[in-house]
A = this chain, B = another copy of it.
């Protein structure tokens, strides 16, 4: 790996001039520039991003940090991909971190990203009132929350209208004459799940259906297993739900397993709606009715906000709320058990 100095020698100019060429500075004689360019090519020179970062000012490190719960969750991989595509077009690279919803791990990575002098951090905060995230915001590093809000402070945020999505999913079930509608949700520490539950409850209330706490279950959003067990519990109930609203894709997998296990046929025996549209939702038998979140677009939007803030740290914080889309497919059609209507 050759250095800037070597290029400077080769081209018979000062290091400064080479630097100017690298950075497309205006005032360089075309001839000189050509000479430098040729030397760079000859030596196969690539500027060290590390040195550039150390010396340069904030906002030019060409590095972004992303902390998500788990890249194996397809919703988050869509977001990550959206971010990366925008970053790529700006010549930025992305450090990707998985938190596993573990605050210690989140804090660790927040420290690392700071030590790496990233130009910005994008993340769904684990806790709406977490201190680690607060800390990084205070350092002045641009932060954008995606998927989940941060309640403690004003931050740029990209979220889906969770309440609305949950409301329309639940209303759809109610329109199908369901009265006993269960929900598999997760801890309200996550703003997204809290809001989804609110939307669910609001829909019930608006249709004069009492909220029944025994039909509300909180599972682990990172895997399917707790959801499977909770569904089993729900099915065992004296007055079991005739429909289920499941608040994310991983938990839906667990629900589906439980249903299969108990030989419940969808939608004949029970109707279901899942939050998140997944590639596999359409090829299920029956295809799943879903609330689609535009993960990729959310990622793109979040990245754009980061770059805006890098360019102008003074601008007002914004909160972008994207719209979920209810996609009705067969998993909520043709419900048969008359007594439940």
Interface residues of chain A, those whose CB is within 8 Å of chain B, are: 1, 46-51, 53-54, 61, 63, 70-72, 74, 77-78, 80-81, 84-85, 88, 93-98, 105, 108-109, 111-117, 139, 224, 250, 253, 256-257, 260, 278-280, 282-285
Contact = CB atoms under 8 A, between A and B. Distances in A.
Given A1-B139, A283-B284, A96 B80 contact: yes
A60 to B, nearest CB: 12
Given A71-B77, A257-B282, 19 more contacts: A46-B111, A46-B114, A48-B117, A49-B112, A49-B115, A49-B116, A49-B117, A50-B116, A72-B78, A85-B98, A93-B113, A95-B95, A95-B96, A250-B279, A253-B280, A260-B283, A280-B284, A284-B285, A285-B285
B84 A77 contact: no
B53 A50 contact: yes
Contacts of A282: 257
A114 B285 contact: no
B49 A51 contact: no
Contact of A96 (B74, B94, B112, B114): B94
A93 B117 contact: no
Contacts of A94: 95-97
A84 B98 contact: yes
Contacts of A116: 49-50, 63, 93
A6 B77 CA distance: 40
Contacts of A71: 71, 77, 80-81, 84
A96 B65 CA distance: 10
Nearest to A64: B95
Contacts of A108: 88
Contact of A278 (B46, B77, B93, B280): B280
Contacts of A78: 72
A294 to B, nearest CB: 14
A214 to B, nearest CB: 25
A319 B280 CA distance: 34
Which interface residue of A48, A105, A279 has the most chain B CB atoms within 10 A?
A279
Contacts of A285: 284-285
Contacts of A117: 48-50
Nearest to A78: B72
Contacts of A1: 114, 139
A221 B260 CA distance: 30
A293 to B, nearest CB: 14
A63 to B, nearest CB: 8
A261 to B, nearest CB: 10
**Max chain B C-beta neighbours (<10 A), residue from A108, A280, A285:** A280
Given A72-B81, A84-B96, A46 B253 contact: no
